[in-house]
Amino acid sequence: MADPERDPPIPGTTLFDGDAAVKGYALNAMCYSFNDTANRQAFVDDEAAYCAKFALTPAQRQAVADRDVLGMIAAGGNIYYLAKLAGIFGLNVQDVGALQTGRTVAEFKQFLLDQGKELAHG
């Protein structure tokens, strides 16, 4: 929906707009269901069946199978919902950040710390 004249793309950044929402609905609906612990268990017990129940697209199914966060986002996933799926995989936001940026987790954490180095406190 973005007007690329007025709003030039932001590198490495996807706005979750209507286009993304249309594309991602099934994946996001599945991830939203993970607020319920029984649903998380059902996913763990039979990942393929659970993805099929939510009618994930092939691209979404592949990205989930591959734990490919950038692939999930490209397939319309929204990070607020994806974070619940990441939790099932035992990944926190630094792990997810490392996966997406091609860094090790230690490198990603250092990258975060480095951004605070110049600050004087208060």
Partner 1 sequence: MAEIVGAYFTSHVPAIGGAIHRGDQQTPYWKPFFDGFVRVHEWLAEVKPDVAVVFNNDHGLNFFLDCLPTFAVGAAAEYHNADEGWGLPLYKPFAGHPDLSWHVIETLVADEFDPATCQKMLVDHALSIPFELAWPEVDAWPVKIVPIAINTVQHPLPSAKRALAFGRSVHRALASWPGAERVVVIGTGGLSHQLDGARAGFMNPEYDRFCLDHLANDPDALTHHSIHEIVRLSGTQGVEVLNWIAARGALGPTAREVHRNYHIPISNTAAATLLLDPV
Residues that bind partner 1 (CB under 8 A): 1-2, 6-7, 10-19, 21-22, 25, 28-29, 31-32, 34-37, 40, 69-70, 73, 78-84, 87, 92-94, 96-97, 100-101, 108, 111-113, 115-116, 118-119, 121-122
**Which tokens belong to 12?**
């490495």
Contact 39, 68 (CB under 8 A): no
User: Rounded to the nearest whole angstrom, what is the least distance from the CB of residue 65 to partner 1 in the complex?
Assistant: 19
- Spatial separation of the C-alpha atoms in residues 52 and 76, rounded to whole Å: 17
Contact 64, 72 (CB under 8 A): yes
User: Rounded to the nearest whole angstrom, what is the least distance from the CB of residue 66 to partner 1 in the complex?
Assistant: 16
